[in-house]
Amino acid sequence: SEIIRLEEVWKIYGKPPSETIALGGVSLTVRKGEFFAIVGPSGSGKTTMLHLIGGLDRPTRGKIYVDGTELTAIRSDSELSRYRNKTVGFVFQLFYLIPRLNVLENVELPLVKRGMPKAERRRLALEALRTVGIEMLAYKYPTQLSGGEQQRVAIARAIVGSPRVLLADEPTGNLDAANSQIVMDLFKRLNRELGMTIIMVTHNLELIWNCDRVARMYSGKLLGIYTPEKYSELI
Ligand code: ADP
Ligand code: ADP
């Protein structure tokens, strides 16, 4: 069964004559529980697609459905914000932790936005930290952590509210090989053990072997969707 559907999605930045067609009519579906990769050269529209699915931005044309809700029918920003907070979790190349907050407080943030009582927030944040294997860092501050540890904090923050979909934009882009492997193993566990649907943008082709299917973008168009095996034969 499907969890995400894009129907003829366009995203055009700017106005003629200096417009950029970031997405030029993309249609695809992602299945529930799938580990889905989006690949393609720089500027091909990968991040734009992830942002539209995550409700960080709205398409110029077309429809997007996530978990039974038509995202593109949501008109108010506050409702879109509620969607982001509840349905999706984001992980980025730069970790975007808040330096003045300790690890536990960073992980609690999405729950603070939901108005959850403190004791319950604490419990869920500690559980998320345990899931990513860094419970012992709960009272450290982001600047005291390595890049790999910071990314695991960011992943804990992304999953603390039990989102249906995890969206990751070049999650290993700032990590060395060993930490990239830790993050990928973690994603595979979240995917297999917790059934989390994961959509990951990457240009590291070694990472696609962790995924179920690979969407290939070029110049704002979806060229095709492949298994990792088929994709590796193409290139
Ligand atoms: P990718 O993630 O594959 O590198 P992006 O989705 O970031 O590609 O960008 C697709 C195209 O849209 C690029 O040409 C980029 O310059 C353009 N673009 C992205 N964001 C904006 C923006 N906020 N304003 C104008 N153009 C943008
Ligand atoms: P609110 O709208 O209630 O202030 P946000 O939408 O900012 O809440 O936060 C929801 C999620 O979206 C957070 O996990 C945050 O990391 C992410 N987010 C919000 N804005 C951006 C942005 N411009 N770029 C990347 N991620 C963002």
Residue in this structure with the two tokens 């949501």, named with its chain if needed:
74
Which residues, including other chains, have CB under 8 Å from residue 96's CB and lie 6 or more apart?
154
Does residue 22 have its Cβ closer than 6 Å to ligand 1? yes
Cα distance between residue 43 and residue 221, in whole Å: 11
Give SS3 for 208: helix
pLDDT digits (tens, 9 = 90+) for 149-208: 999 999 999 999 999 999 999 999 999 999 999 999 999 999 999 999 999 999 889 999
Instruction: Show the tokens assigned to 111.
Output: 């729950």
pLDDT digits (tens, 9 = 90+) for 118-139: 999 999 999 999 999 999 999 9
Predicted TM-score (pTM) of this structure: 0.92
Q: Which residue type does 188 have?
A: K
86, 161 Cβ separation under 8 angstroms: yes
Cis peptide upstream of residue 99 (ω within 30 degrees of 0): no
CA dihedral for 131, 136, 142, 147, sign (positive or negative): negative
Does residue 47 have its Cβ closer than 6 Å to ligand 1? yes
Choosing from 10, 11, 13, 200 the residue with most ligand 1 atoms within 8 A of its CB, the one to mutate for a pocket test is: 13
Length reported for the chain:
235
* Percent of the chain residues topping a pLDDT of 70: 100
Name the burial class of residue 78, with classes exposed (0-12), middle (13-18) and buried (19+) by CB atoms within 10 angstroms of its CB: exposed
pLDDT digits (tens, 9 = 90+) for 60-112: 999 999 999 999 999 999 999 999 999 999 999 999 999 999 999 999 999 99
Q: Which atom of ligand 2 is nearest to the CA of 54?
A: 12
Instruction: Show the tokens assigned to 211.
Output: 């995924």
Give SS3 for 199: strand
CA dihedral for 176, 181, 182, 187, sign (positive or negative): positive
Does residue 202 have its Cβ closer than 6 Å to ligand 1? no
Residue 203, pLDDT score: 87
Q: H/E element holding 186?
A: helix 177-193
